[in-house]
Amino acid sequence: MKVTSVNVKKIEKEGSRMKGIASIVLDDCFAVKDIRIIQGEDKLFIAMPSRKYPDGEYRDVAHPINGETREMIEKAIFEAYDKAEVAKVEDSTESGEEE
């Protein structure tokens, strides 16, 4: 499996740890959207798309099931992030950041 396409929207919003949103395509046939790029304590990391369940917990909708696949996805996203231009965020609802 290969990441065949990556689209990153870099975001700069004061006070937000979210630094961007990514979408990827795997093997030219499966898309994963709304992957968040988050600033952690010492480095960036990705947060896979998730949804809030009635019990209040967030659970990933899609995610890699092994470290090798996660590293491949992270590498592709971070390479695109480094090249991306900053997008303006006008509305906090666009960020998708969890409270």
Res 95 pLDDT > 50: no
Q: pLDDT category, 12, cuts 50, 70, 90?
A: confident
Q: pTM value?
A: 0.81
Spatial distance between the Cα atoms of 62 and 59, rounded to a whole number of angstroms:
9
Provide the pLDDT for residue 84. Answer: 86
For domain 3-86, give the fold: Arylsulfatase, C-terminal domain (3.30.1120)
**Strand extents, DSSP E, the chain:** 3-11, 18-26, 30-39, 44-47, 50-52, 58-60, 86-87
Domain residue extents for the chain:
3-86
- One-letter amino acid of 67: G
Cβ neighbours of residue 28 under 8 Å, at least 6 residues apart?
A: 4, 5
Residue 72 CA, chain-centre distance (Å), reads: 13
